[in-house]
Amino acid sequence: MGGLFSRRKNSGVDAEAKAALRSFDHASRASLLQSLEKSDLGWFWASDAEGRLVYLSDPAAQRIGRPFSDINGRSITEVFQPVENSEDRGTQRPLKFQLAARNSIKPVTVKLDMGEGQSWWEIAAVPQTDSEGGFMGYHGIARDVSDTFQSARDAEKLSRYDSLTGLSNRYRMSQQLGATLTAFKVSKRSCAIMLIDLDRFKQVNDTMGHPAGDELLKQVAGRLQRVLGDKVEIGRIGGDEFQVIMPDEDDRGVLGDLGQRVIQMVSQPYSINGMRAVIGCSVGIAVAPFDGIEEEELIKAADLALYSAKGGGRGQFRFYSSDLRDQASHRHQIEADLRDAIARDELQMHYQPIVDAKTHEVACVEALMRWNHTDRGMISPADFIPVAEEVGIIRELGEWALNEVCRTVQTWPGDIRAAVNVSAVQFASEDFVEIVKRALSTTGIKPSRVELEITESVFVGDMERALRVFHELKDLGVRLSLDDFGTGYSSLSYLRDAPFDKIKIDQSFVRGCTAEDNKNEAIIAAIVSLATALGMETVAEGVETKDELAAVTSEGVSHLQGMLFSRAVPDADIVARLEAGELHYVPRGPEKYRAERRTEFRKIGLIHENDRYNVFLRNISKTGAKIEGLLEVPVGTDIVIDLGGGQLAVAKVRRSEGFSQGVEFETPLISDGADGLCTRHRVSPYQIEAAGRPLRALNDEAVAAITGVMGSNTKAFVEVEIT
Ligand code: C2E
Ligand code: CA
Ligand code: CA
């Protein structure tokens, strides 16, 4: 039998085929369909005009785990559910709409979930019409694609998600951010991104092993998800770097609070295979369209903010601001010059007295490094120490400082002690104890005259090693002091085991401890009683005012350090005092701490009606500012202060005297994460665009142009020069 498809030279083909088709009658067709249905190669279904399922091949119903009678008459959309696959959203019109339009249904994957486990089918269908063209329902086919669907989904997950933490990976974050920014540019919405970088994660990884590091990252991911909620997209975009996309968020008050909460949560101790680990984190925040419109621009801004947060000491957040670009290049310069600073003899040690709280007599001095740069003048250690830590020359600087201090103090009259700061990086180096030992022996200083100031961050990572090194140092005869207590990885538990002689209460607790509603004094009291119980001395750092002095003294701290007594001075000044026997320091300074009032002197803009003026900002607090440069502005005048970077603060003049005015802000400013203040909201680049300028990230000229555009001939106030 040649069958349908065999060719014969002899031309009887057509006739034979027709005969075969004719013989394929209704009964044969029905059996063909049935065998297809049974084979699971394909199933059939049909709906009525109302979209109810009226037929489904038996084997298909069996696959769902129910007799067809159970699902007969249910709506098709209830049986064939959309697949929640975010990547398909938007590209595929939902089945519901296709059905409603009574269009043919092109092959589409649907989910079946009738309580007996899920399966995924591919369905397709064509609409049926009666002779008048009226819609009668669908005839469709279906097949089970669960296996391929699931493996495709797993593969997709792998390529878009981080297999360790289950968060989005860098690829997916970039896709999401790109798509969000493009869409938001059209709908004029804002979007914030947050970069989170773990501090000292490497230490945990190195000392506790990679599996512990992996476990830690998983726990960090879990905490981030808890703090940030599910309205944002969180990704891990590098070893210990995370990124968060926050659509429709531009309130820097909210963002700052969130940043702070993230830092707090991540800095809580972790338990990993029964061991404790502590890390910290830094956060950089940038907001589109203010800080960048395109993805690359925005990421760069957040990166700079993160970099600045890390440089400002660990455990901080920062918003992006255009100043950071300048700071970044400044930092590069520091880096380049620092390597030569020792050789060029540009480093010096200055000494700040630490006095006894009862007698106000100097008991000890803290050695603080000073860098007198040939071209730039004095550079603060707060600026160059972090750079030195990062580029790896802190060990060299630290060793130099230690030797310099031992050598100098050795020559001083009397028995006064000197404290030397030790960076955590320096502390972590293998030969640290050896270096201290050598400094003591080569200079011949009595070890008990040397105190090492160490911050809490040395506890991060291998705590056993830290404790061992502490005891080795104590065995050399030096004293140990815990610096900046309460700022970083505050955990009191290690105090019990660590042999510290002294705790230094960080300035941030002393600052403003007398202000109302301030819990700092209670915290100081708690630290003092704990230290006393453990037989340790306490130093209140950064005492600037008489009311702070009274407060910390009444809480019982044993020692005091701060501008109120003396700033850090050159070696010769200390020697002169010691030789004259003038050990007593008289507190000199302001009576009272003024709430977060920062003195400044910078040019800002003031907008009144349609005019823009240049004025000087003298000081600023959350609630108001003092400005100079306009004559005779009546009390009660409504103005807008332009603080730069699109930050406009609506204000009212409350006091006015000659060229100086005190103004009160309508909405209080908020902390910018550093010691500065900023407005919650900024002028939006969309507003600037609406005024006929191209859309781009904020710049001051564009803001100034739209805020003071009109300009009248008769300005209400006279501008005066201030020097
Ligand atoms: P620190 O260890 O907390 O040092 C105390 C800082 O507070 C010093 O800043 C000191 O000048 C300042 N200070 C003292 N009294 C007052 C006050 O009443 N008000 C205010 N606002 N500040 C006060 P300095 O000298 O700028 O040093 C900054 C930081 O740089 C130090 O903080 C320390 O962490 C680091 N550093 C300084 N010298 C060295 C060093 O030789 N080695 C290392 N590793 N770090 C150093
Ligand atoms: Ca210190
Ligand atoms: Ca300190």
Average pLDDT of span 637-648? 94
- What's the confidence (pLDDT) of residue 6? 41
Distance 369 CA to ligand 1 centre (A): 8
Question: Which pLDDT does position 323 carry in this prediction?
Answer: 83
Ligand with minimal distance to 484 CA: 3
Q: Quick one: how far is CA 122 from the chain centroid? A: 43
Q: Residue with the nearest Cα to atom 24 of ligand 1?
A: 381
3-class SS of residue 597: coil
Q: List the single range of 334-338, 531-535, 591-595 with lowest mean pLDDT.
A: 591-595
Q: Which atom of ligand 1 is nearest to the CA of 453?
A: 2
Please give the distance, rounded to the nearest whole angstrom, from the Cα atom of residue 107 to the centre of ligand 1.
69
- d(CA 368, ligand 2 centre) in Å: 8
pLDDT(97) > 90: no
Q: Where are the alpha helices (DSSP H) in 511-653?
A: 520-533, 546-554, 571-580
Regarding the beta carbon of 272 and ligand 1, being less than 6 Å apart is answered no
Assign 364 to helix, strand or coil.
strand
Please answer whether residues 707 and 606 qualify as being in contact, where contact means their C-beta atoms are separated by less than 8 angstroms. no
Tell the residue number behind the tokens 């003048």, with chain if given: 377
Quick check: 505 pLDDT over 90?
Answer: yes
Residue 2 is predicted with a pLDDT of 40
Ligand nearest to the CA of 402: 1
Average pLDDT over residues 446-467: 87
Vertex 694, ends 691 and 700: CA angle to 5°? 75
Percent of the chain with pLDDT over 70: 92
How does pLDDT run across 592-605, given as a tens digit for each residue? 876 555 566 788 99
Closest residue by CA, ligand 1 atom 19: 542
The protein residue whose alpha carbon is closest to atom 42 in ligand 1 is 421
Residue 483 CB–ligand 1 contact under 6 Å = yes
Angle 629-634-637 (CA atoms, 0-180°, nearest 5)?
Answer: 95
Ligand 1 site, residue 398, Cβ cutoff 6 A? yes
**Alpha-carbon Rg for the chain in angstroms:** 36
Ligand 1 geometric centre to CA of 385 (Å): 10
With contact defined as beta carbons under 8 Å apart, do 402 and 443 qualify?
no
| Number of C-beta neighbours around residue 147 at 10 A | 10
Ligand 1 neighbour 355 (Cβ under 6 A):
no
By alpha-carbon position, which residue is closest to atom 7 of ligand 1? 542
Which phi and psi angles does 241 have, rounded to 5°?
Answer: -120, 135
Per-residue pLDDT tens over the stretch 649-672: 999 999 999 999 999 999 999 998
- The predicted model scores a pTM of 0.61
Instruction: Give tens-digit pLDDT for 402-440.
Output: 999 999 999 999 999 999 999 988 998 999 999 999 999
For ligand 1, atom 4, the nearest C-alpha belongs to 368
Q: What is the pLDDT of residues 379-398, one digit of tens each?
A: 889 889 988 987 889 999 99
Report the residue among 368, 546, 566 best suited for mutation to probe ligand 1: largest number of ligand atoms under 8 A from its CB.
Answer: 368
Is the model more confident about 678 or about 200?
678
By the CB criterion, residues less than 5 angstroms from ion ligand 2 are 421, 453, 483
At 443, the amino acid letter reads T
Assign 85 a pLDDT band (cuts: 50, 70, 90): low
Alpha carbon separation from 603 to 382, 633, 676, 680 (Å, rounded) = 25, 18, 16, 21
